[in-house]
Structure 1
Amino acid sequence: MGIATTIGLDIAKSVFQVHCVDAAGEVVARRKLTRGRVLGFFENLPRCLVGIEACSSSHYWARELIARGHDVRLLPAQYVKPYLKRQKNDAADAEAICEAVTRPTMRFVPVKTPEQQSVMMLHRVRLMLNRQRTQLSNALRAHLSEFGIVAPIGRGGIEQLLAVINDENDPRVPADARLCLQMLEAQLMVVKAQILENDRRVRASARETELGRRLMEIPGVGPLLASAFVATIADAHAFKSGRCLSAWIGLVPKQNSSGGKEKLGSISKAGNRYLRQMLVVGAMAVIRYAERNGTRRPWLVQLMTRRTAKVAAVALANKTARMVNGRQQKSQAAGSPLGPSH
């Protein structure tokens, strides 16, 4: 039996599956491992090429295996799917990963550091907290409307409703209802305080790196988007050009071309949804400012005369993504962007 040179590792919460092949492509081992035995299994092997689908906890396992001397590649799940034969199970998934990782044209996901994952956690928690704030505000409005109490939209309206809730002498709100509404108010205050603290940490993470400060010089890129780019893209050189980054984010037209005839549709909306949303929001802010105060960018002026604001925003977001990629590549060529600059 040969020595394993390439391994497909299908990870899960408790049960892991490995598929090992030698240099000739012959199967060396197929094995199911419990979580506690995974690292011990790889410690006893010589240096191997290990393929893992990019999913939950994949970056952790990649870092652990790299620390043990293995060459680890993370693969997007959609690129592994074509190599899956018939039935789907853990063994078949591991075999498909093992096959896909050896393809010369395969695209891989750079392994993120714990610091990058921590910053991205700030962004994910921020989204969750904002959803909770909206839910609580809507709940307060809906419950009070049952007693004929309404207020204008926006934060000012919520403040008016909170004043009604805390007015013990207001006969329109029964005692039991007031108690429930005060519970919702307490939760809303906690969520608001957490959002403020989260935003403070996001701004700090964007400003503490040289790359983050450079990205914030681009029109339409604020601390939130700069921080997200630094945390999401571990290696800017993984993209051959700015257009490749824009395509990965999903800001380029979908193609349905055949027979030499090009057919382009709307944007693909593939890839990282969060970055795409932030880029479009930033582009809309630039366009709204240009509509009110004018702009010296001839390209944007001509675009705004031909297209609606939202279409122009998507085109501007595409251009912004290319500019971001250029600055990231220059910064990473000069040094690491992740540590604080001195």
Structure 2
Amino acid sequence: MQYPTIGIDTAKDVFHIVVADPAGRPVKKVKLKRNKLAAFMANQPVSMVFLESCAGSHHWARAFTGFGHRVEQIAPQFVKRYRNGDKNDFNDGQACIEAGLRPTVRSVGTKSVEQQELQSLQRARTLVLGQRNAVGNQLRAMLAEFGVVVARSIGALRRRIPEVLEDAENELTDGMRRLVAEEFERWRGLAERVEVLRGRIERGSRTDAKMKRLQKELEGVGPLSAAALWTAVADPKAFAQGRQFAAFVGLVPRQHTTGDRPRLLGIRKGGQNELRALLIHGARAAIRHLGDKTDPKSLWLRALVERRGKNRAAVALANKNARQAWAILCQAA
């Protein structure tokens, strides 16, 4: 059965809607305020609805699915390729339809509210973590100007700053001591906030069966990595195989092939940056604690470290973990 198609250029307040026939030919164009969008979509016949994946699109996808529509979200980079003419809101809505009707354009799954809640915790932790590191680096830089050097570790900063403030022999003036004390207090507040958010993520990871299994079966995958894996995709079965999921994360080499001569380069810098970093850091921790383990995976990892070095081995283990995580998530879906 062929359904009418609807392309929506999502926004904060004003939505531009293109209603088209099953082939994608525009029938009418509508501009609506946010408070009228739900009622409009509820009165439409069952349709294929294409949204540009952006802030708020998961909310609307869940709402439109509740009205009986079939909803697909299209990544912005794909929408841009199919825009005709200058950029305006109606052209963006038509581009959503054009991209969504293409069989080779992958859609973005709709995440549940639980996934979005956990993902929001992760984003908040990442933001506060960056702020904590920035304030810590600023403290080190300011003190270095007065001949006081603090090591680049969280523990050293926590121990050293009170000692510096109490030391009457250094060059710090009264005003500078007051500034350092204020910035150190701000740094401590951010550090405490990081731990609070981390604890909330870990509690969520311990109560979900899928995330508990990820931590149990994968080397170097802890609560943060398990949570990031679960929230990365709405439907893991959208990937045909584990290699596609690893490529989505950014853990496969870039390829430059011409004349049937394949050439593999370094791993991608795109993809899911935070998830990739967590998997690689976890893999490095697994390598550090490899010890004298004799299970097949440890033997493979030890041989890989000896043959290719720790950095490449860490990426290889992260890639393997991503593939196995995809299989676990598919089984649980």
Give the TM-score normalised by structure 1.
0.89
* Residue 317 (structure 1) shift: 1.1
Q: 8 Å contact 2:242–2:324 — kept in the other structure?
A: yes
Alignment of 1:256-335 (within 5 A): 256-290=256-290, 292-293=291-292, 295-296=294-295, 297=297, 298-332=299-333
- Structure 2 CA distance for partners of 1:100 and 1:133, relative to 1, 3 Å: same
- Structure 2 CA distance for partners of 1:303 and 1:46, relative to 1, 3 Å: same
State which drifts further: 238-247 or 85-94.
85-94
AA in 1 matched with 2:210: L
AA in 1 matched with 2:224: L
* Residue 222 (structure 1) shift: 0.7
Q: 8 Å contact 1:137–1:188 — kept in the other structure?
A: yes
Q: 8 Å contact 1:150–1:161 — kept in the other structure?
A: no
Which structure 2 residue ranges, 5 or more long, are not aligned?
A: none
- Structure 2 CA distance for partners of 1:270 and 1:141, relative to 1, 3 Å: closer
* Residue 193 (structure 1) shift: 1.5
Give the equivalent residue in structure 2 for 1:176: 175
CA distance in 1, matches of 2:87, 2:103: 24
State which drifts further: 219-228 or 251-260.
251-260
CA distance in 1, matches of 2:276, 2:212: 20
- Structure 2 CA distance for partners of 1:270 and 1:180, relative to 1, 3 Å: closer
Alignment of 1:195-274 (within 5 A): 195-217=194-216, 218-274=218-274
* Residue 165 (structure 1) shift: 5.4
Any runs of at least 4 consecutive aligned residues in structure 1 with deviations exceeding 6 A, and if so which? none
CA distance in 2, matches of 1:156, 1:192: 11
* Residue 273 (structure 1) shift: 1.3
Q: 8 Å contact 2:24–2:97 — kept in the other structure?
A: no
2:107 is paired with a residue of what secondary structure? coil
Alignment of 1:119-138 (within 5 A): 119-138=118-137
Give the equivalent residue in structure 1 for 2:52: 53
Aligned-pair RMSD on alpha carbons?
Answer: 2.2
Q: 8 Å contact 2:3–2:48 — kept in the other structure?
A: no
- Structure 2 CA distance for partners of 1:203 and 1:94, relative to 1, 3 Å: same
CA distance in 2, matches of 1:12, 1:232: 23
AA in 1 matched with 2:306: T
CA distance in 2, matches of 1:170, 1:129: 34
CA distance in 1, matches of 2:197, 2:191: 10
Give the TM-score normalised by structure 2.
0.91
2:108 is paired with a residue of what secondary structure? coil
1:216 is paired with a residue of what secondary structure? helix
Deviations 1:99-137 (A, max 9, x none): 111223331111011211111111111111111111221
Identity percentage of aligned residues: 36
